[in-house]
């Protein structure tokens, strides 16, 4: 089954969470915007076609900034590059977004910021743990948008195997289905059993698994002989915990990277691909875009994957679980 990430079902796309986020990624407008435009241009010219964003990306007064920038960057592209893109945004199920039409205004606002370049709408997280009734209405409302021809594809994020089965069943009653499911997936992601079950379930249903945070906030891009100090407080705290714990894992990644003449980033992304997912790493520089796309040119051998799996099991510290992830 073909996917939208630039290759087979588990290709590679890219995410734009950092485009507007000052708290975690230190976004600085408008100085950063020129670099982000160059990053986007490089991503497209390197063959990346699946782009993920969200209406909540952008902190404080910059809320929606990611979509706004993305819309501007796409509009500036020649038609032959625009036509092959798959642009996916996520709509947040905030407590005040209620009822079957609870996401309708947010959808139209996102589409406006994206200048009409929107192929897939996604529910950003599950409310099944605290307001399952809200999720039912919102899912039905997103399905209405697909039936009305306002958007072509429907996806979800932070949904587990049990909730996914329910969603697929409900959508099937309307002859609709999910196109993708986003989940945290990386060599440092938590909850291995749930992740494996979800990937197997999606494979049987023909649903693409989008792996967000495949580089664990950048930890997996750090060579074993270096300990960088991120600019934001939240990332510094995470690095201080995960860098020491992941040292042997990153050494194993480094050995593969050296033998192949590639980066740790490419090793981390290809581990996700080898597990049946499409990684959507965040990119902020043209060099990162080119490096990410280069991971599509090779794959891990079974022996290489086994060596990473072994070190992954021995890594006691992992990324924090998303509190909105459903079962």
Q: Which residue shows structure tokens 């009734």? A: 133
C-alpha distances in Å from residue 120, one per residue of 14, 107, 151: 14, 11, 6
| Strand locations in the chain (E) | 14-15, 50-54, 86-91, 120-123, 153-157, 180-184, 208-212, 278-279
| 3-state SS, residue 296 | helix
DSSP H or E run through 243? helix 233-245
Q: State phi, psi for 203 to the nearest 5 degrees.
A: -60, -40
For residue 57, indicate whether it is catalytic: yes
Pair 17, 57: CB distance under 8 Å:
yes
Tokens describing residue 227: 């300990």
Cα angle for residues 7, 118, 167 (degrees, 5° grid): 80
Neighbours of 176 (CB within 10 A): 15
Catalytic residue among 57, 130, 212, 239: 57
State how far the Cα of 195 lies from the Cα of 205, in Å rounded to an integer.
15
Tokens describing residue 197: 């079950």
State how far the Cα of 145 lies from the Cα of 313, in Å rounded to an integer.
42
Pair 138, 111: CB distance under 8 Å:
no
Helices (H) and strands (E) in the chain, counts: 12, 8
Q: Just list the catalytic residues.
A: 57
């Amino acid at each position: 089954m073909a996917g939208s990430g630039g290759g087979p079902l588990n290709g590679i796309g890219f995410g734009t969470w950092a485009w507007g986020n000052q708290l975690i990624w230190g976004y600085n407008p408008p100085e950063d915007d020129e670099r982000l435009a160059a990053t986007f241009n490089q991503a497209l010219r390197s063959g990346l076609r699946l782009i993920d964003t969200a209406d909540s990306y952008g902190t404080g007064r910059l809320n929606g900034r990611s979509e706004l920038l993305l819309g501007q960057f796409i509009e500036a592209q020649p038609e032959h590059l625009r036509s092959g893109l798959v642009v996916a945004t996520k709509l947040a199920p905030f407590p005040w977004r209620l009822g079957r039409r609870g996401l309708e205004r947010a959808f139209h606002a996102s589409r406006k910021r994206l200048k009409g370049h929107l192929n897939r709408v996604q529910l950003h997280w599950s409310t099944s743990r605290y307001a399952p009734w809200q999720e039912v209405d919102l899912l039905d409302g997103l399905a209405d948008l697909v039936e009305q021809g306002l958007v072509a594809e429907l996806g979800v994020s932070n949904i587990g195997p049990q909730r996914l089965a329910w969603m697929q069943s409900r959508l099937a009653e309307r002859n609709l289905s999910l196109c993708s499911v986003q989940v945290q997936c990386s060599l440092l992601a938590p909850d291995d059993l749930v992740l494996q079950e979800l990937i197997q379930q999606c494979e049987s249903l023909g649903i693409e698994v989008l792996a967000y945070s495949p580089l664990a906030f950048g930890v997996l891009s750090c060579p074993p002989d270096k300990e960088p100090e991120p600019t934001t407080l939240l990332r510094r705290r995470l690095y201080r915990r995960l860098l020491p714990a992941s040292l042997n894992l990153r050494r194993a990644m480094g050995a593969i990277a050296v033998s192949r003449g590639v980066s740790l980033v490419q090793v981390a992304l290809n581990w996700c691909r080898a597990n049946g997912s499409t990684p959507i790493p965040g990119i902020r520089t043209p060099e990162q875009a080119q490096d990410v796309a280069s991971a599509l040119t090779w794959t891990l051998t079974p022996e290489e994957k086994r060596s990473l799996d072994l070190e992954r099991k021995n890594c006691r510290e992992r990324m924090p679980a998303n509190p909105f992830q459903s079962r």
